[in-house]
Amino acid sequence: MNGILPLWKEKGMTSHDCVFKLRKILHTKKVGHTGTLDPEVEGVLPICIGRATKVASYITDAGKEYIAKVSIGRSTETEDAQGATVSRDDSDKVISREQLLEELQQLTGEITQIPPMYSAVKVNGRRLYEYARKGIEVERPAKQVYIEEIELLDEASVFSGKDVSFSIRVRCGKGTYIRTLAVQIGELFGYPAHMESLVRTVSGNFTQNDCKTLAEVAQLMEERQVDSILRPVEDVLTEFPRLEIDPDLLESIRNGQVLPAVQLLQEHVSVILTYNGQVLAIYKNHPTKIGLMKPEKMLLSNE
């Protein structure tokens, strides 16, 4: 079994839980997810099966879209609604729509984020949440992330009260913490804030409409129809140019050999090599040998 299964991860499960359950449902061990979603977050989680596990990193690196509810007035240890309260501001707040749109615009583009203590980022070989659970505060490395767009979904002209909440749609690049973005929105107004809820609606080329729940996958497996929802590896490689190779190169590519660079690599970082329409490998310019190219990823199936 090979392909990408667009899964709708439900609340209460980790991404690893989904992989564990799918291995049982699909009767195969070669199953991998494409990026961690917190247990309380639901949404699109593409699952790679068989040789598709080789392209998991391309889905992980692709853009994402989320719908988040931001709550201003309280900050938490985990930056989401599940964490213990760190600080609270019970003053009456009045934020106009124009003010909010202006601040959201400030957080669009390339911005700096500091990962939450309760996150899977590694520092000195250990994940931050391991330190956090032991009450150890460590210095966290700031990183640059890219926010393509933040759309305010609420139509109110004024947001007011001791606790102010609103929903936003965020299109962003790899590594963006929406929890941290919620905190940053609050900071721009001078208030504590957290992310109240989060749904991932898009991951790479996969949308909410593409997805099936674990129960639906199990039903399709029972009916021997699960292949109907598996997407081919090619669906995550649409950004790369393709080149159909001559038959005399087939064996060399099978063996992952270094080859003379093709012309497409003068304009593109990587190129997909195909034979009879089947994806064999992704090649890139050799880092040290000018005029040559080397395999970035071998995708030829021997099954």
Residues that are catalytic: 38
Sheet strands (E) in 142-254: 143-152, 158-161, 164-172, 193-203, 206-207, 242-244
For the chain, where are the alpha helices, taking DSSP H only? 15-26, 56-61, 97-106, 128-133, 178-189, 214-222, 250-254
Are 178 and 195 in contact by the 8 Å Cβ rule? The answer is yes
Tokens of 276: 């009879």
Q: CA-CA distance, 219 to 140, in Å (whole number)?
A: 44
Query: 151-170 burial, b if ≥16 CB within 10 A, otherwise e?
Result: ebeeeeeebeeeebebebbb
Q: CA-CA distance, 300 to 290, in Å (whole number)?
A: 26
Helix (H) or strand (E) holding 109: strand 109-113
Q: CA-CA distance, 179 to 215, in Å (whole number)?
A: 29
First to last CA, the chain: 10
The alpha carbons of the chain give a radius of gyration, in whole angstroms, of 22
In the three-class reduction of DSSP (H, G, I as helix; E, B as strand; rest coil), residue 176 is classed as: coil
